[in-house]
Chain A
Amino acid sequence: MKQSKLSEQQYEELKMISKAQSGDREAFKQIILTYQQRIYALAFRIIGNSDDAKDVAQEVFIRIYRFLPNFQNKNRFFTWVYRIVVNACYDHLKKQKRFHAYPIEQIPENKLPQVCQSHTQKEIFDQVIALLNHLSIPQKTAFLLRETEGFTCREIADIMQRPNSTIRSHLRNARIRLRDLLKQHYPEFFEG
């Protein structure tokens, strides 16, 4: 039952892509509506700024429209879209010269999460998410694609255009680094 529903969705999506490829603006609008929130969310998580993420999301859709006639492997549309998102985010970060996260020693004190008992869960989560900025951009991207979208290593490798082994290495290093950071700043989570 679930299988047939998924196939129907895919079929509708394929129809929409074909229409958009032949220049149907309404079909392209539907593509935007389908993907805009996911694209924006990923861009926001990678870049960490709402306005910049909106600009990147807009740039992504312009690129999709421009290169849509070249897109052929219709079964992998989402991978192709995410590849454009990741590349657009990298381009944006390169422009801003924030491509590499600075090492923990060099981070100003006010940027480090402050442990406080009175903090609400949301505040703690925000501070935990801030720790992601200590990862390198490829590590962070691979980690986010895995955790938020649930992509497999192979799919992430396809999106980031890197070998599968590199992605596995990014994921492993990211998890170890995050565990160390969390232990350093929130030792109470590991007690007991």
Chain B
Amino acid sequence: MKCQYFQKNAALFIGGELSSQKTKKLHKHLDQCMSCRKYFENLQISKRLFSKAIREQSIAPLDQSFTESVMNHIPDKQLTYITPRKTSKLRLTWAGPAAALVITFAFFIIRGFIMNKPQSEDFDRFPLVEKTEPNITVMTFQIDDPKITIVWFFENDNNNNKENDYAM
């Protein structure tokens, strides 16, 4: 065993936090290597000193007033079970597929527009003019692929011809 390996594990070795197999290996190395023994002893001294210092640290005991103070701060009402929020997890589960679905739809719609961009002659080919009211003229253009309908409403004013455009 290399000293580097021993020194890497020595800090856990003194705390008894290694597996029995590793502990045996380190014990064996410790019997053979003087420098690692010194390293181990220093760690042990430090650990013992800190343990003793912590144990002997004087911490004033809490008195009855502390208990009373806590009891005064807690509410009188009956405790109720707080239901864990399960919905958030559910929402996250569905958010991914929903987003993927929206993106797919958007992709196909945009692709359809790009691939089948309506040409100006398409509009010229199918002008449909309807006259429903005496003072309003409705003009409709339709294209089949992609299906687009443009409807124009012309307000027939005797004095001033006003146009209102509406597109659908």
Contacts and interface: CB of A to CB of B under 8 A. Distances in A.
A113 B27 CA distance: 35
A153 interface: yes
A41 B55 CA distance: 11
Contact of A50 (B46, B60, B67): B60
A128 B59 contact: no
Interface in B9-47: 11-12, 14-15, 17, 42-43, 45-47
Contact of B46 (A22, A44, A68, A175): A175
A29 B52 CA distance: 32
A159 B53 CA distance: 24
A128 B49 contact: yes
Given A125-B52, A189-B49, A33 B67 contact: yes
A58 interface: yes
A153 B17 contact: yes
Nearest to A173: B11
A69 B54 CA distance: 35
B62 A125 contact: no
B107 interface: no
A176 B11 contact: yes
A58 B55 CA distance: 23
* Interface size grouping (class) on chain A: 35 or more
Contact of A168 (B12, B66, B75): B12
B46 A70 contact: no
B70 A189 contact: no
Interface residues of B, number: 38
A179 B57 CA distance: 19
Interface string A165-192: 0001001110110110011000001100
Contacts of B54: 45, 129, 144, 147-148
A90 interface: no
A29 B11 contact: no
A163 interface: no
B79 interface: yes
Given A125-B57, A148-B54, A175-B14, A23 B78 contact: yes
Given A65-B75, A129-B50, 11 more contacts: A29-B71, A36-B66, A40-B62, A61-B73, A69-B79, A147-B54, A153-B17, A168-B17, A171-B15, A179-B47, A189-B45
Nearest 9 A/B pairs, CB to CB: A179-B46, A125-B53, A172-B11, A175-B11, A128-B53, A69-B81, A23-B78, A61-B70, A65-B74
